[in-house]
């Protein structure tokens, strides 16, 4: 036994145990950090959404003044449906938006300026497509073209209602099915064209 004068001597085996303990603690901290970071990342990706707000352009019937504007637009059975709606990415990350039906729901190519809902030819621009990448805070015009085209009308009084647009969102490497809620309901049908519907509602307002 060696007299060390009351000073504790740590041997090589003790130093190895200390290093091993420190390594285990450090590894545990890294694992916890990775798990927490992944959770935050997944939450951020899955909480991303696209909102429809701002400008709307549509044809169809004009609403009488006595009726509240609860609908996005109303079209008669024989009318061609065309609605332009501004959509925006309110999140802090770029989002790739893919339409579930690119024949019906199409996106304009984003520009540097604010999105403007206009169509001189009564149709979406030729370069509109079923997919768009929206930067943080970016907005673009989404066009809705005859969404009822694949439906089967059972009678002349059937109404079709569209209040959301099914899409796939991809952000931060995470892809999920979602939808864009429209700022009102799009109605199509009723067995009349837009002018007849408008006249009928005007008559109802006067009654």
Asked if residues 135 and 126 have their Cβ atoms less than 8 Å apart, the reply is no
Alpha carbon distance 40, 178 (integer Å): 20
Higher pLDDT: 59 or 119? It is 59
Average pLDDT, the chain: 75
Tell me the pairing of strands 51-58 and 82-88: antiparallel
pLDDT of residue 28: 53
Over the stretch 181-190, which tens digit does the pLDDT of each residue have?
999 888 887 6
pLDDT of 12: 56
Tens of pLDDT, residues 126-155: 889 999 999 999 999 999 999 988 776 655
Out of 10-14, 24-28, 145-149, the most confident range is: 145-149
| pLDDT at res. 120 | 45
Q: What is the mean pLDDT of residues 23-46?
A: 51
């Amino acid at each position: 036994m060696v007299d060390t004068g009351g000073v504790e001597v740590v041997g090589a085996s003790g130093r190895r145990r200390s290093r091993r303990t420190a390594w285990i603690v450090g590894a545990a901290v890294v694992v916890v950090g990775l798990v927490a970071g992944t959770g935050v990342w997944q939450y951020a990706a899955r909480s991303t959404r696209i909102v429809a707000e701002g400008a709307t352009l549509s044809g169809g019937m004009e609403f009488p003044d006595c009726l509240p504007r609860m609908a996005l637009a109303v079209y008669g059975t024989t009318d061609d449906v065309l609605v332009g709606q501004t959509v925006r990415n309110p999140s802090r990350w770029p989002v790739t938006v893919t339409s579930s039906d690119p024949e019906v729901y199409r996106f304009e190519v984003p520009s540097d300026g604010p999105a403007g809902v206009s169509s001189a030819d009564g149709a979406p621009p030729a370069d509109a497509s079923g997919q768009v990448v929206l930067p943080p805070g970016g907005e673009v015009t989404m066009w809705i073209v005859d969404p009822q085209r694949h439906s089967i009308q059972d009678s002349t009084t059937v109404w079709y209602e569209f209040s959301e647009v099914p899409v796939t969102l991809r952000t931060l490497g995470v892809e999920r099915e979602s939808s864009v809620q429209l700022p009102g309901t799009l109605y199509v049908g009723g067995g009349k064209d837009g002018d007849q519907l408008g006249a009928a509602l005007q008559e109802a307002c006067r009654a």
